[in-house]
Amino acid sequence: MAKQKDLSGAQTPEEFAREELRRHREAAGLSQEGLGERIFTSGAYVGQMECGTRRLRPEIAELIDKVFGTKDYFTRLAKAFKSKHVEYFAEAAELERLATAIFDYGPTLVPGLLQTADYARALIRAASPTGPADRVDSLIAARMERARILDDPDSPELWVVLHEAVLRTAVGGHAVMAAQLRHISSCVRAHRITVQVVPFAAGAHGALGAYVRIMQFSDAPDAAYTEGPHAGQLLDCPALVRRHWRSYDLARAAALSPEVSLTLIESVAEEHARCAQT
């Protein structure tokens, strides 16, 4: 068995876990494909864990421990580096940081990267009315931290399609919604994101009813993520990703142009502001 080394030798905890996985695999004389076969996944998946495009999940870590005879070493590593996000979104959040382009479709809510803190608080509180304040604050902070990737003027490209219902639903009240829509408008006017709105008048269209995201990478295939209440799923099957691309393209085809969409967003923001005053 490969000797376990001290955590202080790694630049970051994530890099340490990746380095340990690669080191143990090579010491065992296994290729990425060979290890993949033993943990019921693919060699490509092992490669993605080693290069950081995939998170070391606890259930995978348990299988790795069995292969290497490392007791609960990798299981403890996986648990020690637990994400700040809910478990079902954690891996998608890791990939988000590596994406060169992100394409979101929001049927009912503003996607997390564009949420203001007040909008996020209203959503989290609605889902957990009696949740501890520190837990709510932690979730909001994690969401705001994610949004910092938009501070980079070049990457990732962000294209968002929203249903008009997102604009009209007064999450947190009219004042919160006015500020939320103005935030989206400012991001568009800063030429940082592209936003289109599917109007009520479009009727039925090709997008899925649930939130869907497609991510592109410079050195890995596209991945899709879908989410509903209390559950989410990351998909990398090429056939499924292609189906999500088709749905996304149909939603864009049904949507207003970016210019008309911006006008609508700013108009609805003013409507919310007037309602807040009265």
Q: Which residues pair with 161 in a beta bridge?
A: 105, 196
- pTM of this structure: 0.77
Where do the CATH 3.30.870 domains begin and end in the chain?
87-276
What superfamily in CATH does domain 13-80 come from?
A: lambda repressor-like DNA-binding domains (1.10.260.40)
**In sequence order, what DSSP letters do the residues of 211-264 get, joined into one string?**
EEEEEE-SSS--EEEEEETTEEEEE--HHHHHHHHHHHHHHHHHSPPHHHHHHH
Cβ atoms of residues 116 and 176 within 8 Å: yes
The helix or strand, by DSSP H or E, that contains position 162, with its residue range, turns out to be strand 157-163
What letter represents residue 25's amino acid?
Answer: R
Cβ atoms of residues 40 and 60 within 8 Å: no
Cβ atoms of residues 162 and 197 within 8 Å: yes
Residue 8 is predicted with a pLDDT of 40
Cα–Cα dist 85/126, whole Å: 17
Decide if pLDDT at 9 tops 50: no
Where do the CATH 1.10.260.40 domains begin and end in the chain?
13-80
CATH architecture of the domain with residue range 87-276: 2-Layer Sandwich (3.30)
Which of 31-40, 79-88, 213-222, 243-252 is the least confident region?
A: 79-88
Which of 8-22, 96-110, 118-132, 176-190 is the least confident region?
A: 8-22
Cβ atoms of residues 257 and 115 within 8 Å: no
Residue 10 is predicted with a pLDDT of 39
Count the alpha carbons within 13 Å of 271 in the hemisphere toward its beta carbon.
10
